[in-house]
Amino acid sequence: QQPVQSPQAVILREGEDAVINCSSSKALYSVHWYRQKHGEAPVFLMILLKGGEQKGHEKISASFNEKKQQSSLYLTASQLSYSGTYFCGTPGGSNYKLTFGKGTLLTVNP
Amino acid sequence: DAEITQSPRHKITETGRQVTLACHQTWNHNNMFWYRQDLGHGLRLIHYSYGVQDTNKGEVSDGYSVSRSNTEDLPLTLESAASSQTSVYFCASSRDRAGDIQYFGAGTRLSVL
């Protein structure tokens, strides 16, 4: 079942912060985050594992609450290079495939 | 460097024609995936394979087929192309660990006229 992302789109000015949420109706073992810049392939950002572990990438961090079946991506002091579409992906138990959300379009303006 | 390549990058075809999109990876990954990306739908899984001779249907598999004869390649075939299959197609691969990182190819933009 496809995870639900919110918001669908967000526009920021450089230096502002943003939060992107990902929620699932089924139990989660982990959550993956990918970023796709316009016209390019999705690129892996980070994996969040059970236990509420937080990961970081540049000034991007994320949290995972397996009880609430949701993850949040935090973009701090956004840069122009953060613009793109962010996808969360959830694996189905122990298998290898991911189900991706519909994505959140992030636009950072000067 | 290891990589995953897709060809062609752009393709225009006519309805009813058979089309094959190539995907080749040099990571020696057992897992390979095909997605289509359409506005408002995100990435949807078409087919996937966990090893040679293994293929599985994803959520939008109708009208598509794959075959896996070696570790490196997973070609995607549209048996009889339809306008609804106009999309951007991405291939990805990953190692044999549950929920492992997927590495994506650059994509193929397919237009069916």
Comparing B31 with A96, the larger pLDDT belongs to B31
- Is B53's Cβ below 8 Å from some Cβ in A? no
Structure confidence by residue, pLDDT tens digits, A41-70: 999 998 888 766 666 667 788 988 888 889
Q: How many CB pairs under 8 A join A and B?
A: 60
Q: What is the dihedral of CA B107, B23, B44, B99, to 10 degrees?
A: -110
- Cα of B57 to nearest chain A Cα, Å: 11
Cβ separation B48–A87 shorter than 8 A = no
Cβ separation B106–A40 shorter than 8 A = yes
B70 CB-near residues (< 8 Å, 6+ apart) = B52
- Cα B91–Cα A43–Cα B76 angle in degrees, nearest 5: 5
Structure confidence by residue, pLDDT tens digits, B21-54: 999 999 999 999 999 999 888 999 999 999 999 9
